[in-house]
């Protein structure tokens, strides 16, 4: 039977509100008939009809869509046996770039000049009446700051931190809320606006007021009556504002202070004033993945330590606590957060740096509930003071962007299963509207280097389309005129390096190439390459500019001062930041070769022939320079460290005897190091591939399964529930050994970058890999090794579920494969035999020589 598996507009199956004039539609069908194929798909939208067999990103090409309108789309497919399936969805247009009748408002009397702190939250309110029976009503809202809306005393929407973090100088999202069933004849809107990223402190420099001197609000209520008339009620000078609301302080780094004794009925209000903004961003309907509450986390223990109750949630995560308290008037409860404990059982907050990560709640009389709305923390432990254990119940909510889970992995080694869980939890904790570096200290910034290396793994575990497209738009808007990319996006006042003109930074800037490429591989939509191609070219040109200083081969060796790079960032085989940076000649040169090769490949896909030739030629010359300058001409490095071997091996810079010699030497270095990891950010995603794909499978598995520090499983066996920023985050006794290494005691215990090993788990251990973008053609080729006797993996491709599950019993190997409709799959067994299959479920077996 043919069934519709998924139907989406702009990657959303429900709730899509878009300002795209030509929205994208995607659909996936499934069949229980082996070898089935689609004969025709028909898509109908607004009187427009499309016919074909593509299922990925079909763009609407009909009559212009009207703003603020609900449309229905219908899809119907017929397969080669004549069976059919169909389905419908609704999507909605936003304002489509039209003008707002509302005006930006703020409190003209409010000033705050103190550096490093957050502004007092503003509360806006407005009462209004309606003149008839309502057929449809929407609230459109945005702010400079972050806002929270209530209508008639009830919260509107489930989002946190709206309107989201964007490059505010160019783009500001607005949200759409259906309030049709919530309106009465008389109504009151109350909107709290905190500083957020636009006005509050951001980055470890705690620079505030980057985008605006104070918060501002823009909101419209659009009401359609049953008689066909329309009424628009917008923010203006008839609104009221106060800074005397119950939320006294809200800051991403410091937390939230809330006084439950305060009633808005008893505070002093004054008229709001029109606000002239310092920026003029385009207002677009939300096109990212909004932050929402997900898992409910409950404590696994509670211990009295001094005057505090210390709760352990058993999992490091990003989110907020929820308190239910039997309290007394003016009783003050304080909640502190931390990732780890000190040996005496108290919270270790040393690594939060300036972030206070503290909630302060002042009670009213009686039973009450509180959960912060305008901040979040990264934590496993909380310490609560000011209340007896019997008078409080506590749980927490994990917060992260609303991402559809697309991948799963498991195997016979529970330590690797815990590693996979750690990767997923660090992903969730740091996919917080933008791809952040950590959720706890005074950063939480969009570091480009982290997502550059992690994007392939993220795209296995989650549907990253909306999330990454939004972020890439900001990256494009913030590219320097010289072509370099900020090391954090949105930069929001943070600048590195400070050279004039701004320099390109290897691997961190590579995100403009590596992230669109990873998304293209996962989704198969060529438009993500087209949208970012000019940015890629300009970036590689900038890298080439900074690498050109020299003669002969040195003209292709990128050797600008090390302090302007990150180099082999957090490589565990050297202890100091300066030593990581000193490796930048190798990492930067390899980066230039890799990005230019990828841009050449992308240019061919986009039929940009001149660019393909230009960047292909550059890539070859850089590869030759790397070999001539850094090696002895026979594959051995003059200065040896793991990353310096991994990058040229993985990026195809070596071949023949040189490649074999380099791989052998890398394997020897790993063996001599006790199979412990020695790579920093640039090399970590690739080291297992560099070994396993070049005849050193056993070395790769021994490194993967190593439990000595530094290694992935060292973290696991020492109780990690997320990925650490530093391999040596805790010693054997549970203490942090990091000293004065130049990083200002930089250690996060929830940092996804080295979790890029997840790519190896999916592509090699489970054996799932795309041969064509979007998995139109795929390969299932499990790599059997180490102590594993079984593994399974699955990924929800644009066409449906691709899955593998294998077992090894002695020398007998069995494999089950599931292939989605509309695709083909090459199945390669450990004995080398190959099968080509289409849609359906299959079972294979063979004998494996030398199996453990």
CA-closest candidate to residue 317, choices 415, 258, 395, 216: 395
**Residue 98: phi, psi to the nearest 5?**
-75, 170
Distance CA 760, CA 797 (A): 18
Candidates 443, 478, 523, 715; catalytic one: 443
Tell me the three-class secondary structure of 209-230, residue by residue: CCCCCCCEEEEEEEEEECCCCE
CA-closest candidate to residue 451, choices 428, 474, 434, 466: 434
Q: Which residues contact 471 (CB under 8 A, 6 or more apart)?
A: 288, 434, 435, 446, 451, 489, 515
CB distance 335 to 321 below 8 Å: yes
Residues above pLDDT 90, as percent of the chain: 96
Calculate the alpha carbon distances from 339 to 244, 315, 439, 746, 835 in Å.
Answer: 33, 9, 10, 14, 48
324, with CB counted inside 10 A (0-12, 13-18, 19+), is middle
Task: Show the tokens assigned to 351.
Answer: 């690594």
End-to-end CA distance of the chain: 42
Average pLDDT, the chain: 97
Distance CA 218, CA 211 (A): 16
* Global model pTM greater than 0.95: yes
Per-residue confidence band for 640, with pLDDT thresholds at 50, 70 and 90: very high
Tell me if residue 393 falls in helix, strand or coil: strand
Total Cβ atoms within 10 A of residue 318: 27
Q: What is the pLDDT of residues 735-774, one digit of tens each?
A: 888 888 888 889 999 999 999 999 999 999 999 999 999 9
Calculate the alpha carbon distances from 805 to 400, 776, 846 in Å.
Answer: 30, 20, 14
Any bridge partners for residue 284, and if so which?
173
Any bridge partners for residue 44, and if so which?
49, 74
Q: What is the pLDDT of residues 403-447, one digit of tens each?
A: 999 999 999 999 999 999 999 999 999 999 999 999 999 999 999
* pLDDT at residue 208 in the model: 96
- Read off the pLDDT of each residue in 483-507 and give the average, rounded to a whole number: 91
Query: Does residue 725 have an active-site annotation?
Result: yes
Candidates 55, 725, 769, 796; catalytic one: 725
* pLDDT at residue 736 in the model: 85
Calculate the alpha carbon distances from 809 to 269, 300, 697, 730 in Å.
Answer: 75, 38, 20, 37
- Read off the pLDDT of each residue in 278-285 and give the average, rounded to a whole number: 97
**Residue owning tokens 């890298």:** 543
Calculate the alpha carbon distances from 667 to 520, 527, 688 in Å.
Answer: 32, 40, 10
**Residue 419: phi, psi to the nearest 5?**
-60, -45
Distance CA 453, CA 445 (A): 16
Total Cβ atoms within 10 A of residue 155: 11
Q: Which residues contact 390 (CB under 8 A, 6 or more apart)?
A: none
Q: What is the pLDDT of residues 788-804, one digit of tens each?
A: 999 999 999 999 999 99
Q: Which residues contact 537 (CB under 8 A, 6 or more apart)?
A: 599, 611, 615
* pLDDT at residue 499 in the model: 81
- pLDDT beyond 90 at 806: yes
**Residue owning tokens 């109780």:** 719
- pLDDT beyond 90 at 158: yes
Q: What is the pLDDT of residues 374-405, one digit of tens each?
A: 999 999 999 999 999 999 999 999 999 999 99
Q: Which residues contact 427 (CB under 8 A, 6 or more apart)?
A: 454, 457, 458, 461, 462, 752, 755
- Read off the pLDDT of each residue in 542-548 and give the average, rounded to a whole number: 95
Tell me if residue 70 falls in helix, strand or coil: strand
Q: What is the pLDDT of residues 176-216, one digit of tens each?
A: 999 999 999 999 999 999 999 999 999 999 999 999 999 99
Q: Which helix (H) or strand (E) holds 347?
A: strand 347-348
* pLDDT at residue 852 in the model: 54
Distance CA 631, CA 662 (A): 9
Tell me the three-class secondary structure of 532-572, residue by residue: HHHHHHHHHHHHHHHCCCCCHHHHHCCCCCHHHCCCCCCCC
Per-residue confidence band for 36, with pLDDT thresholds at 50, 70 and 90: very high
- pLDDT beyond 70 at 252: yes
- Read off the pLDDT of each residue in 451-460 and give the average, rounded to a whole number: 98
Interior/surface letters 239-257, b for 16+ CB within 10 angstroms, e for the rest: bbbbbebbbbbbbbbbbbb
Task: Show the tokens assigned to 368.
Answer: 């009450």
Per-residue confidence band for 851, with pLDDT thresholds at 50, 70 and 90: low
CA-closest candidate to residue 145, choices 203, 239, 210: 210
Which domains does the chain carry? Answer: 2-93 (2.60.40.10), 105-250+261-287 (2.60.120.260), 293-401 (2.60.120.260), 407-765 (1.50.10.10), 769-847 (2.60.420.10)
- Read off the pLDDT of each residue in 145-167 and give the average, rounded to a whole number: 97
Per-residue confidence band for 684, with pLDDT thresholds at 50, 70 and 90: very high
Q: Of the given ranges (466-480, 493-507, 772-786), which has the lowest mean pLDDT?
A: 493-507
């Amino acid at each position: 039977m043919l069934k519709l598996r998924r139907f989406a507009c702009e990657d959303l199956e429900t709730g899509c509100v878009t300002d795209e004039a030509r929205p994208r539609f995607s659909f996936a069908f499934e069949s229980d008939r082996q070898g089935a194929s689609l004969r025709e798909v028909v898509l109908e939208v607004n009187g427009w009809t499309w016919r074909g067999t593509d299922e990925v990103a079909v763009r609407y090409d009909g009559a212009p869509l009207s703003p603020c309108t609900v449309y229905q789309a219908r899809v119907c497919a017929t397969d080669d046996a004549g069976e059919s399936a169909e389905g419908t969805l609704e999507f909605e247009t936003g304002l489509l770039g039209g003008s707002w009748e509302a005006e930006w408002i703020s409190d003209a009397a409010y000033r705050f000049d103190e550096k490093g702190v957050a502004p007092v939250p503003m509360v806006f309110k407005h009462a209004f009446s309606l003149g008839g029976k309502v057929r449809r009503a929407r609230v459109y809202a945005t702010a400079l700051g972050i806002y929270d809306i209530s209508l008639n005393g009830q919260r509107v929407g489930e989002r946190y931190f709206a309107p989201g973090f964007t490059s505010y100088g160019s783009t500001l999202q607005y949200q759409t809320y259906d309030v049709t069933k919530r309106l009465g004849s008389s109504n009151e809107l109350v909107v709290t606006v905190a500083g957020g990223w636009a006005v509050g402190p951001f980055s470890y420099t705690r620079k505030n007021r980057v985008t605006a001197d104070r918060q501002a609000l823009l909101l419209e209520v659009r009401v359609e009556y049953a008689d066909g008339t329309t009424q628009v009620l917008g923010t203006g000078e008839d609104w009221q504002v106060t800074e005397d609301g119950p939320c006294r302080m809200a800051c991403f780094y410091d937390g939230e202070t809330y006084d439950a004794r305060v009633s808005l009925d008893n505070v002093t209000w004054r008229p709001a004033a029109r606000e002239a903004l310092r920026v003029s961003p385009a207002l677009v309907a939300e096109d990212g993945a909004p932050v929402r509450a997900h898992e409910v986390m409950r404590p696994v223990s509670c211990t009295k330590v001094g005057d505090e109750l210390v709760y352990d949630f058993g999992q490091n995560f990003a989110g907020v606590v929820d308190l239910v308290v039997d309290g007394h008037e003016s009783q003050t409860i304080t909640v502190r957060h931390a990732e780890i404990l000190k040996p005496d059982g108290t919270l270790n907050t040393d690594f939060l740096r300036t972030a206070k990560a503290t909630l302060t709640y002042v009670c009213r009389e009686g039973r009450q509930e509180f959960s912060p709305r305008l901040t979040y923390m990264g934590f496993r432990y909380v310490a609560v003071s000011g209340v007896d254990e019997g008078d409080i119940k506590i749980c927490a909510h994990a917060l992260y962007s609303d991402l559809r889970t697309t991948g799963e992995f498991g195997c016979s080694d529970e330590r690797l299963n815990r590693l996979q869980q750690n990767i997923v939890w660090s992903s969730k904790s740091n996919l917080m509207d933008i791809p952040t570096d950590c959720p706890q200290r005074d950063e939480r910034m969009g570091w480009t280097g982290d997502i550059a290396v992690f994007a392939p793994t993220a795209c296995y575990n989650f549907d990253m389309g909306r999330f990454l497209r939004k972020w890439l738009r900001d990256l494009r808007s913030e590219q320097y005129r010289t072509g370099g990319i900020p090391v954090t996006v949105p930069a929001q006042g943070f600048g590195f390096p400070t050279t004039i003109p701004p320099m390109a930074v290897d691997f961190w800037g590579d995100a403009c190439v590596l992230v669109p490429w990873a998304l293209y591989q996962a989704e198969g939509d060529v438009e993500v390459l087209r949208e970012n191609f000019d940015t890629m070219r300009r970036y590689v040109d900038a890298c080439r500019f900074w690498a050109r200083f020299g003669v002969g081969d040195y003209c292709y060796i990128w050797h600008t001062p090390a302090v302007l790079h990150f180099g082999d960032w957090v490589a565990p085989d050297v202890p100091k930041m300066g030593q990581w940076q000193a490796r930048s000649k190798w990492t930067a040169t390899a980066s230039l070769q890799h990005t230019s090769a990828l841009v050449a490949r992308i240019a061919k896909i986009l039929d940009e022939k001149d660019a393909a030739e230009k960047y292909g030629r550059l890539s070859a010359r850089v590869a030759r320079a790397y070999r001539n300058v850094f090696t002895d001409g026979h594959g051995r490095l003059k200065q040896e460290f793991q990353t310096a071997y991994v990058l040229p091996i993985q990026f195809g810079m070596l071949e023949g005897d040189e490649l074999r010699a380099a791989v052998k030497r890398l394997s020897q270095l790993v063996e001599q190091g006790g199979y412990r990891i020695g790579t920093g950010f640039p090399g970590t995603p690739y080291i297992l591939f560099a070994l396993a794909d070049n005849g050193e499978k056993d070395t790769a598995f021994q490194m993967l399964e190593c439990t000595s520090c530094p290694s992935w499983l060292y973290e696991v066996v020492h109780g990690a529930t997320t990925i650490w920023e530093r391999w040596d985050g805790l010693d054997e006794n549970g203490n942090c050994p990091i000293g004065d290494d130049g990083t200002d005691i930089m250690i996060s215990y929830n940092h996804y970058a080295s979790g890029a090993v997840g790519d190896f788990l999916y592509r090699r251990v489970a054996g799932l890999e795309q041969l064509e973008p979007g998995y139109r053609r795929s390969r299932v080729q499990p790599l059997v090794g180490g102590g594993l006797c079984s593994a399974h993996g699955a990924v929800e491709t644009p066409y449906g579920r691709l899955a593998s599950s294998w077992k090894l019993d002695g020398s007998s190997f069995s494999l089950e494969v599931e292939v989605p409709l509309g695709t083909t799959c090459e199945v390669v067994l450990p004995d080398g035999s190959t099968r080509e299959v289409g849609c359906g479920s299959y079972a294979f077996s063979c004998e494996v020589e030398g199996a453990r």
